[in-house]
């Protein structure tokens, strides 16, 4: 844990008692603050002995700050009432990352954001650095909350996944190396507009102290515009990254090979790394290469880290191979863009999709429909997805995940096609049937393993 001394002797309210909220409360208490906590979904006394206080009952004139968990509306669709009350009293509203920035040592900070690929790239950068012998802590929006990480000295490196919600609540954010992977519409109900969403992503680079290195995916128009603006400003070293075209002044990937600064010969190959399948992972790997290169690592050390990377749960995670059919858990794919990257990796797909739909549904995936043998639909999105797929892909409305997995397995086994995959890549949030995407992915894993026990020949998968 990293103690936060900034509010020592003062009263601070923490709203939201998820992973980051409780970490913030503990860090503030360790730093000498009086911490009052509240969660709209938890009416019982909080863990660790914190005093539960409804924000509506607080005298905000006596509060030094409101620490807002990233899942609670800050601006859109409308601010939480506590946000309004704090703002009216002139009380700053910040998040756990702002507290982390105030408390961390002189260790370097690598921040990673983007619509898709944040978790894989964050974990990959951390793994490469650790493999190379650098003292590294990895967390933020991924895994361990930032304030629950271990304190590091000046030679250490923090690698944080940063959601847009966290960036919005961290006005002092300043990264030594900042990575923006890509930008596409997501969570617009929480951001108000695409323009504001893009502006918040860009804020990972915009702060009083210039980023030393800005790594930017430039295969979408938003990334291109941000990259050009940063290059024109000249405040930092900009490293553009593309997997669609050669670049003379950045990192590019062509036919699975990574090239630096327009070189004629590749620095390394990415298309034979088992834990990083598909073009989207080439972008993740290329951005991780650029970030770790900026931190002084040599190509050989970076390649060693890439090749030993075990992959992440719920992100094209191979659960098992049963009777020659691979079962892949891509539960983290909660929007169509994330699912697109998964569908592009395989040619014979028995696709499990659905859940709580997001704006646009699966429109825009039509060019990948020929890869789908059958779609097995679950959750609230089933009817809408079936309509989009009508006339293109056979559909079975299964309702629940266990039924979908069983039916997909039976269909794949009956077809007997080579290289068949049963792919859970929902293109939806999970909240209609599961608490989060992790719970959904864990359920998929359990169902697949039960199938393997029932019969068939199973190989592979995580223990």
- What would the pLDDT profile of 16-43 be if each residue is shown by its tens digit? 998 999 999 999 999 999 999 999 887 5
The answer to whether the CB of 351 falls within 8 A of the CB of 371 is no
String of DSSP letters for 273-322: -TTS-SHHHHHHHHHHHHHHHHTT--HHHHHHHHHH----TTSSEEEEEE
Band (463; pLDDT cuts 50, 70, 90): very low
How confident is the model at residue 460, as a pLDDT? 53
The chain-wide mean pLDDT, for the chain, equals: 92
String of DSSP letters for 115-182: SSSHHHHHHHHHHHHHHTT--EEEEETSSS-GGGSPP--TT-EEEEE--HHHHHT-TT---SEEEE--
pLDDT tens-digit readout, 287-306: 999 999 999 999 999 999 99
The answer to whether the CB of 182 falls within 8 A of the CB of 115 is yes
Average pLDDT for 282-290: 97
How confident is the model at residue 210, as a pLDDT? 66
Band (312; pLDDT cuts 50, 70, 90): confident
Q: Specify the CATH number of the domain 317-454.
A: 3.90.190.20
How confident is the model at residue 208, as a pLDDT? 58
The pLDDT of residue 86 is above 80: yes
The pLDDT of residue 453 is above 70: yes
CA 101 to chain CA mean position, Å = 20
Could you tell me the strand order of the sheet in which 11-15 lies? 51-52, 34-38, 11-15, 63-68, 93-94
Residue with the larger pLDDT of the pair 212 and 296: 296
How confident is the model at residue 262, as a pLDDT? 81
Classify residue 431 by its DSSP letter: T
- pTM, two decimal places: 0.81
Average pLDDT for 96-104: 96
Domain 11-94 class? alpha beta
String of DSSP letters for 340-363: HHHHTT-SEEEEEEESB--TTTTT
The pLDDT of residue 428 is above 70: yes
- 452: its two tokens: 């393997």
pLDDT tens-digit readout, 317-376: 989 999 999 999 999 999 998 899 899 989 999 999 999 998 899 999 999 999 999 999
Report the share of the chain in percent with pLDDT over 70: 95
Task: Give the start-to-end residue ranges of the domains of the chain.
Answer: 11-94, 98-308, 317-454
How confident is the model at residue 274, as a pLDDT? 80
Report the share of the chain in percent with pLDDT over 90: 79
pLDDT tens-digit readout, 101-116: 999 989 999 999 998 8
The pLDDT of residue 187 is above 60: yes
Domain 98-308 class? alpha beta
Angle at 171 between CA 194 and CA 89, to 5 degrees: 100
Average pLDDT for 192-209: 85
Separation between Cα atoms, residue 96 and residue 69, nearest integer Å: 7
Band (44; pLDDT cuts 50, 70, 90): low
pLDDT tens-digit readout, 378-408: 999 999 999 999 999 999 999 999 999 999 9
How confident is the model at residue 402, as a pLDDT? 97
How confident is the model at residue 47, as a pLDDT? 60
**Least confident segment among 209-218, 297-306, 429-438:** 209-218
Average pLDDT for 135-156: 95
How confident is the model at residue 7, as a pLDDT? 97
């Amino acid at each position: 844990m990293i103690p936060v001394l900034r509010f020592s002797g003062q009263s601070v309210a923490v709203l939201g008692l998820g992973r980051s909220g409780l970490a913030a409360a503990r860090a503030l208490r360790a730093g000498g603050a009086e911490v009052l906590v509240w969660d709209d979904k938890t009416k019982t006394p909080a863990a660790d002995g914190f005093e539960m206080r409804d924000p509506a009952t607080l005298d905000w004139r006596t509060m030094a700050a409101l620490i807002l968990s990233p899942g609670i509306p800050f601006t859109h669709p409308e601010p939480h009432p506590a946000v309004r009350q704090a703002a009216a009293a002139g009380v700053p509203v910040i998040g756990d990352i702002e507290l982390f920035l105030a408390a961390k040592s002189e260790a370097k900070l690598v921040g990673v954001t983007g619509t898709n690929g944040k978790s894989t790239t964050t974990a990959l950068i951390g793994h490469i650095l650790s493999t190379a012998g650098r003292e590294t802590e990895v967390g933020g929006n991924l895994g361990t909350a930032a304030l629950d990480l271990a304190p590091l000295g000046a030679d250490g490196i923090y690698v944080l996944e940063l959601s847009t919600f966290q960036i919005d609540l961290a006005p002092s954010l300043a990264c030594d190396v900042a990575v923006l992977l890509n930008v596409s519409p997501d969570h617009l109900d929480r951001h108000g507009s695409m323009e504001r969403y893009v502006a918040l992503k860009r804020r990972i680079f915009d702060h009083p102290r210039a980023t030393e290195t800005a790594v930017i995916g430039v295969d979408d128009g938003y990334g291109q515009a941000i990259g050009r603006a940063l290059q024109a400003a000249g405040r930092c070293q900009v490293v553009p990254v593309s997997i669609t075209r050669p670049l003379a002044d950045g990192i590019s990937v062509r036919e699975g090979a990574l090239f630096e600064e327009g070189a004629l010969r590749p620095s390394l190959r990415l298309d034979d790394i088992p834990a990083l399948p598909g073009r989207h992972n080439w972008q993740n790997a290329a951005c991780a290469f650029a970030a770790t290169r900026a931190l002084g690592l040599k190509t050989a050390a970076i390649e060693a880290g890439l090749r030993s990377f075990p992959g992440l749960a719920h992100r094209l995670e191979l659960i098992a191979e049963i009777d020659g059919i691979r079962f892949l858990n891509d539960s983290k794919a909660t929007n169509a863009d994330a699912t697109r990257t998964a569908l592009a990796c395989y040619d014979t797909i028995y696709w499990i999709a659905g859940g709580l739909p997001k704006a646009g549904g699966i429109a825009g995936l039509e060019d990948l429909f020929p890869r789908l043998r059958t779609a097995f639909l679950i959750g609230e999105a089933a009817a809408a997805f079936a309509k989009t797929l009508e006339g293109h892909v056979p559909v079975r409305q299964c309702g629940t995940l266990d039924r979908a997995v069983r039916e997909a397995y039976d269909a794949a086994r009956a077809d007997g096609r080579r290289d068949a995959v049963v792919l859970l890549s929902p293109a939806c949030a999970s909240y209609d049937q599961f608490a989060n995407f992790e719970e959904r992915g864990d359920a998929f894993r359990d169902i697949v393993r039960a199938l393997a026990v029932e019969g068939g020949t199973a190989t592979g998968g995580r223990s």
